[in-house]
Amino acid sequence: MLLGGIGGLVVLGGVFAVVSVIALVLMTRSMFFKQPQAEPVSVATMSNVQTTRPSPAVPAGMVLVPGGEFMMGRDDGRLVDERPAHKVSVNSFYMDVHEVTNEQFAQFVKEMRHKAPLGWKDGDYPSGQGNYPVVGVSWDDANEFAKWKGKRLPTEEEWEFAARGPESRLYPWGNEWVPGQANVDGASHSLVEVGRFKGGSPFGILDMLGNASEWTASDFKAYQGGSLSPAYAGKTDLKAIRGGDYLVPKAYATAAYRLGWDSSGPQTDSRVGFRCAKDASE
């Protein structure tokens, strides 16, 4: 029993010795062979990481119209001024969802001491018509308002693209006439509140057909390869107005419909208004 006990102690001592040697080896190795540490990311390295910038906020009351190509004009219309259909490219821009209203223009009149539109009394619009499109404004009136708002008038190309989209729709809502989608052709016998008719364009813009005609920034001239109606012979200082008003008959009421209007003198038409645009890069 004594020998067995002594033998067991010897074996146990041997095990402890082996463990001690292994522990010593591991400690020695850790002293001379340190584990590599992660390198800190430098500012220069971070600058190479691509980050996603937030999209600029869409201005209140406007929508983004992404740039693109479409066929402007039409070859099968009743008016020679709409011919020929031709490919046009536009850059991205913002467009007002609604026509500028009496209430909005009244703020401009008050703050800038601008003359009131035709038909207003004592510098104020008719009672109850604050949300009607402002009309009886000259091209200069519309242009000055747009600048006051930090915007501009849309070009004729932008206006038509916003109304028709890349598919070049005949009407803002599609290629088939749908009664009640726009304030034209007897749908109403007068102006109405903006947005009452829901025949929106591909971008959700309302009243691009009917209610009030709209000034654009563009001079009224024949399309390349086309000509203007004889009624415009000898007339100068014309700006393009688009969309037609509530009196336009169905036969002419399309998104390609265009007229030229005198921009040099006082505006005497009570059915012409406007909406604003803005560069998408601003």
**What digits encode the pLDDT tens for the residues 22-41?**
343 334 344 433 444 444 43
For residue 152, the cross-strand partners are: 277
String of DSSP letters for 170-219: SBTTBSS--TTSSB-TTS-SS---TTSS----TT----SSBSSEEEEEEE
Q: Categorise residue 271: left if φ over 0, alpha if ψ from -120 to 50, beta otherwise.
A: alpha
**Would residue 25 count as lying in a domain?**
no
pTM of the model: 0.80
Round to whole Å and give the CA distance between 227 and 76: 15
Domain of 77: which CATH number? 3.90.1580.10
In a domain, 70, yes or no: yes
Whether pLDDT at 266 is above 90: no
pLDDT-based confidence at residue 62 (cuts at 50, 70, 90): very high
Residue 150 covered by a domain: yes
pLDDT attached to residue 129:
97
Q: Is the pLDDT assigned to residue 102 strictly greater than 50? A: yes
Query: What is the Cα Rg of the chain in Å?
Result: 36
Residue 208 domain-assigned (yes or no): yes
In a domain, 147, yes or no: yes
Give the per-residue pLDDT at 270: 84
Residue 1 falls within a domain, yes or no?
A: no
Report d(CA 100, CA 195) in Å as an integer.
Answer: 11
The CA dihedral of 190, 139, 159, 276, to the nearest 10 degrees, is -90
Residues of the domain holding 139: 57-282
Distance CA 211, CA 172 (A): 14
pLDDT digits (tens, 9 = 90+) for 116-158: 998 899 999 999 999 999 999 999 999 999 999 999 999 999 9
pLDDT at 17: 39
176-189, pLDDT tens digit by residue?
999 999 999 989 98
Q: Is residue 50 part of a domain?
A: no
| 42 domain-assigned | no
Structurally, the chain folds into a number of domains equal to 1
Please give the average per-residue pLDDT across 62-90, as a whole number.
Answer: 97
Distance CA 90, CA 176 (A): 25
